[in-house]
Amino acid sequence: MSRDVVVLSAVRSAIGSFGGALSSLEPSELGGMVMKEAVARSGVDPALINYVTVGNTIPTDNRYAYVARVASIQAGLPMESVAMALNRLCSSGLQAIVTTAQAIMLGDCDYGIGGGVEVMSRGMYGSPAMRSGARMGDTKMIDLMVSVLTDPFGVGHMGVTAENLVEKWKLTRDEQDALAVDSHRRAANAIKEGRFKSQIVPITIKTRKGDVVFDTDEHVRPDTTMETLAKMKAVFKKEGGSVTAGNASGINDGAAFFVLADAETAKKAGQKPIARLVSYAIAGVGLGLDPAKTNVNGGAIALGHPIGCSGAAIATKAIHELQRVQGKYALVTMCIGGGQGIATIFERL
């Protein structure tokens, strides 16, 4: 059995900087807020949504393992609904959309939610020795946020992987900085023109000075130039390195969710889809994309990369951009830690 899967809504939070506006929120809390708005915009009775998949990668609190369940209940879904969290590293949010779509295709449900949330600012430190008893002396703490950004086969931090690719493909520092400047330029222009307004869920954050509404991506630096980037030092390779804090993707916080449906069920209910999931694939493969058509409103260097959320956030941006330019198809692709990649194609309806 295979059924067409359509998108009824796609929303995201604005992306927060590391230690920024969203850093006080736990993933389940932030995820619940964004998921609730996704349900509201879909026009679907929450009681009819009984399948939720949430991408999330970094432990942050004692509810980490329950992030999907807590977020879905906070979003207003019934206790009878089911929820699952998954970790496919950078692609977790996009994989969650695909996983829920697969459940719909197989007839396990008619309506479902897929997406992701990550609050990297709250990534925990772990001490494995404490479980068995450190006994005496110093013990080691593991940064679980950095662990997610570290190659499991011994290469080191993903920044080191970037330096290895720089060497392999003979990329210059100027080429990398130019890409970063263009990413910030595109993102700043998109924000200025209000291109993201329709997709962003305003998040109200309680502070000592009162409530603050967060609704604009805060990692973007509109004043980024080749001159300012040239002053930055390499972070991951001190001698002869070229990957800096200015031309690398950000460490960020955010959430994004889709409400998906079986096409026939949505049609009978009078619900108007905004897109259709055409195809998807996951593989170990290198990059080969036309820069002119890639990240037209800026990429992770400017907008940030909240790991478990990024795939869903990119898909959200792609679908809203399809609506804006009245395009036909959008290709959503991204990396997966460990040398893999994922791609999905959406069609505007």
pLDDT above 70 coverage of the chain, percent:
99
DSSP code at position 200? B
- Structure confidence at residue 275 as a pLDDT band (50, 70, 90): very high
pLDDT digits (tens, 9 = 90+) for 120-131: 999 999 998 888
Work out the burial of residue 226: count CB atoms within 10 Å of its CB; fewer than 13 is exposed, 13-18 middle, 19 or more buried.
exposed
pLDDT digits (tens, 9 = 90+) for 50-93: 999 999 999 999 999 999 999 999 999 999 999 999 999 999 99
Q: What average pLDDT does the structure give for the chain?
A: 96
pLDDT of the residue at 134: 81
Instruction: Catalytic residue, from 219, 305, 309, 320: name it.
Output: 305
Instruction: Catalytic residue, from 90, 109, 184, 219: name it.
Output: 90
Clarify whether 184 is annotated catalytic: no
Instruction: Catalytic residue, from 109, 309, 320, 335: name it.
Output: 335
pLDDT score of 317 more than 60: yes
Phi-psi region for residue 28, left (φ > 0), alpha (ψ -120 to 50) or beta?
alpha
**Beta-carbon neighbour count of residue 191 at 10 Å?**
20
pLDDT above 90 coverage of the chain, percent:
89
187 Cβ contact partners less than 8 Å away, ≥ 6 residues apart: 217, 220, 297, 298, 299, 302, 303
Note whether 14 and 216 are within 8 A (CB).
yes
Clarify whether 90 is annotated catalytic: yes
Residues constituting the chain: 349
Query: In the chain, where are the structural domains located?
Result: 1-125+151-349
pLDDT of the residue at 287: 67
Clarify whether 309 is annotated catalytic: no
pLDDT of the residue at 339: 86
Find the distance separating the first CA and the last CA of the chain, reported in whole Å.
23
If one looks up domain 1-125+151-349 in CATH, what number appears?
Answer: 3.40.47.10
pLDDT digits (tens, 9 = 90+) for 281-309: 999 876 678 888 899 999 999 999 999 99
281 SS3 class = strand
pLDDT of the residue at 262: 99
Q: Using DSSP bridges, classify how beta strands 125-126 and 203-207 pair: parallel, antiparallel or unpaired.
A: unpaired
